[in-house]
Amino acid sequence: MEKIKGLIDAPFTPFYPNKEVNYEIIPEYASLLARNGLKGVFINGSSGEGYMLDEDERMKLAEAWVKAVPKDFKVIVHVGSTCVRSSKRMAEHAQAIGAWGIGAMAPPFPKVNRVEELVKYCEEIACGAPNLPFYFYHIPAFNGAFLSMYDFLKAVDGRIPNFAGIKYTFESLYEYNRCRRYADGKFDMLHGQDETILPCLAMGGAQGGIGGTTNYNGRCLTGIQTAWEAGDLEKARELQNYAQDVIDVICHFRGNIVGGKRIMKLIGYDLGPNRTPFQNMTDEEEARMKQELEAIDFFNHCNK
């Protein structure tokens, strides 16, 4: 099964001011990402407020992205939900419209407490799109599924034919590397934290990742991998540290989903507000965030 090389973006879902989905901006959005070095999108996930969308909106977004992206630009559709039947339907739809792959995080309710529960959940979803690679999205801070991903790989191995790997959005680089080395690197381990691209590369074997700050800082983040591959460790360190500077700013404004989405407006792509229950930024907060970004010369580094 093909392993992803390069960075995949986790796009925000564009909304109009009334919080209805803005499908019209997606071709322009896709062009921005491709122009700045991204290799695909992982839609309807956490950055995309997927759990705030209904099933019809999620499928229409998938159709819009598949239609909008350039050739060889991967579209992976997050289909996880609290209803596994709904997830399977969205998986079937993703395969039917020509998406490249599918993925699912553990549901926020009920909390998944055992590896076997997680395997069964993934198994029911993945069979809806047997011809597409399936990725498990490990983000326990969102759903409380603090399970061993190494044990998960052992349990899922040979059981889900189209299981491709894990989007690993967690702090344990030790576990990440254990999973990467499992069965001589059998599965695709995509690093999911923009803060730790360089250490994942340094441990050897990390080929791809899925990021959220790549929406507006993709030139910097793809540059880390380019510098590493060229043997320029100092440049890679410089870019990784700069990526952290940007992340430090958004952490002052409720993180990537809220603060990061407002940055898109500041670089000329107004993607609208966040849906409830996210607390949207005020104009005053936007002005303060802009000042903090100017202080690190962000607007000369960001996606263009």
Query: Nearest CA to 42 among 11, 69, 72?
Result: 11
**Structure tokens belonging to residue 107:** 């549901």
Give yes or no: 137 in active site. Answer: yes
Which own/partner contact pairs does 54-63 have at CB distance under 8 Å and 24+ positions apart?
55/81, 55/86, 55/89, 55/90, 57/21, 58/90, 59/90, 59/93, 60/21, 60/23, 61/13, 61/21, 61/23, 61/26, 62/90, 62/93, 62/94, 62/97, 62/99, 63/97
Distance of CA 131 to the CA centre of its chain: 21
The answer to whether 262 and 14 have CB atoms below 8 angstroms apart is no
Round to whole Å and give the CA distance between 234 and 240: 10
Q: CA-CA distance, 53 to 62, in Å (whole number)? A: 12
> Which entry of 167, 216, 242, 261 is annotated as an active-site residue?
167
Is residue 167 part of the annotated active site? The answer reads yes
Catalytic residue among 29, 121, 135, 137: 137
Residues labelled catalytic? 137, 167
